[in-house]
Amino acid sequence: MLYVVGVGICKEHLTKRAIELIKNADLIYGSKRALKLAEDYISCEKRLIKYCIEEYSRIEKESIDKNVVVLSTGDPMVSGLGSKINGIVEPGISSVQLALAKLGIDLCDVAVVDAHAKKAENLEELLKLRHLLILADKNFDVSVFGDKEIYLIENLCMRNENIIFGKAVDLDVKSDYTIVFVRR
Amino acid sequence: MLYVVGVGICKEHLTKRAIELIKNADLIYGSKRALKLAEDYISCEKRLIKYCIEEYSRIEKESIDKNVVVLSTGDPMVSGLGSKINGIVEPGISSVQLALAKLGIDLCDVAVVDAHAKKAENLEELLKLRHLLILADKNFDVSVFGDKEIYLIENLCMRNENIIFGKAVDLDVKSDYTIVFVRR
């Protein structure tokens, strides 16, 4: 069996279901950060995952005769591996949830946009209908929002977690783990 | 202190952080379902919550001199209490995450719409930009999507969980715990 398991983004974000799957695994893949978040419950072999389609299909074959768990930081269905690897997905707490909790904004009032290592599309059209919650990296240019006041939520659950509020034109994305919030 | 704590929607969805907050509470509020999901960790007084602004402001005052936890089924920031009660929000696994896991669809490709006991707005415009994931009840009329093929995901994590696929015109929402998925 192949499971894609969300590990959350803070220490102690793991659900009891996720912990059970990790404990029962024969082999575990993940990023350095994901393996670290789950380390207390890993008793089998663990390997760093490569982010490419060949690796995903190799892991799928490998899981035919053993219990393989692929860890995903946050939730596997939020800019994650859940839609890329053909396994059973176990949800985890995502940075989106944490950002919304800090902002006091409901998910049903936003559009979540993946601008992590890719170009975000339809920002202008979406902003007419919803607030934007953008998963951004250093390459994302917030000056497109001009004089609008926005939030930059940086490095959630890391030692250098930080929230900045100001006019978009005056701000820069300085961390690859940044969430940009723009009010409709 | 006042905490609004997501309890997930399935047994064992609780995170270790949520469990800790529940164990340390002096008083716990929640719906029947939320109290049931957390029951293994509740050792203090528990009360059914009333869903009105007067109750929320009473609870806020009550939390000045004790640790009060308000449980929220799923995640407090998904059509939940997190944006209505002035407390510290601890995320939980929502029905949205579970539905996306079952569909194999990433959150960044959908707009989540709250049509639970309220009229959904801008459906047509949103559908031009995103797939729709609609939190629906029996009053939601899917026939507005005409000949489109849609999914109805009913009663997630309950005994009568069910997924139906078909043309919108041929389907009816029969449960107040239904998620409707419409492809862009």
Residue among B46, B62, B56, B67 nearest B1 (CA): B67
Query: What is the full DSSP assignment across B54-82?
Result: HHHHHHHHHTTSS-EEEEESB-TTSSSGG
How many C-beta neighbours within 10 Å does residue A66 have?
12
Residues of A with a Cβ under 8 Å from any B Cβ are 8, 10, 12-17, 20, 75-80, 82-83, 89-94, 96-98, 100-102, 104-108, 111-114, 122, 125-126, 128-130, 135
Question: What is the Cα–Cα distance from B133 to B151, expressed in whole angstroms?
Answer: 10
CB B69 within 8 A of CB B5: yes
Same fold, A2-93 and A96-182: no
Closest chain B C-alpha to A58 CA, distance in angstroms: 19
Listed in sequence order, the residues at least 6 apart from A149 whose beta carbon sits closer than 8 Å to its beta carbon are A165, A166, A167, A168, A183
Tokens of B136: 């629906």
Q: CA-CA distance, A121 to B115, in Å (whole number)?
A: 26
Domain boundaries, chain B: 2-93, 96-182
Kindly report the CATH number that applies to the domain delimited by B2-93.
3.40.1010.10
pLDDT at res. A121:
87
One pLDDT digit (tens) per residue for chain B, 184 residues: 999 999 999 989 999 999 999 999 999 999 999 999 999 999 999 999 999 999 999 999 999 999 999 999 999 999 999 999 999 999 999 999 999 999 999 999 999 999 998 889 899 999 999 999 999 999 999 999 999 999 999 999 999 999 999 999 999 999 999 999 999 9
The ipTM estimated for the assembled molecules is: 0.96
Residue A159 has which token pair? Answer: 């030692």
Residue contacts between A and B (CB atoms, under 8 Å) = 126
CATH code for the domain defined by A96-182: 3.30.950.10
Read off the pLDDT of residues A80-101 as tens digits, 9 standing for 90 and up. Answer: 999 999 999 999 999 999 999 9
**pLDDT values of chain A reduced to their tens digit, one per residue, 184 residues:** 999 999 999 989 999 999 999 999 999 999 999 999 999 999 999 999 999 999 999 999 999 999 999 999 999 999 999 999 999 999 999 999 999 999 999 999 999 999 998 889 899 999 999 999 999 999 999 999 999 999 999 999 999 999 999 999 999 999 999 999 999 9
Residue A101, classed as helix, strand or coil, is helix
- In this complex, the residue of B79, B91, B106 whose CB is nearest that of residue A97 is B91
Residues of B contacting chain A (CB within 8 angstroms): 8, 10, 12-17, 20, 75-80, 82-83, 89-94, 96-98, 100-102, 104-108, 111-114, 122, 125-126, 128-130, 135
The per-residue pLDDT for A89 is 98
Query: What pLDDT shows up at residue B95?
Result: 97
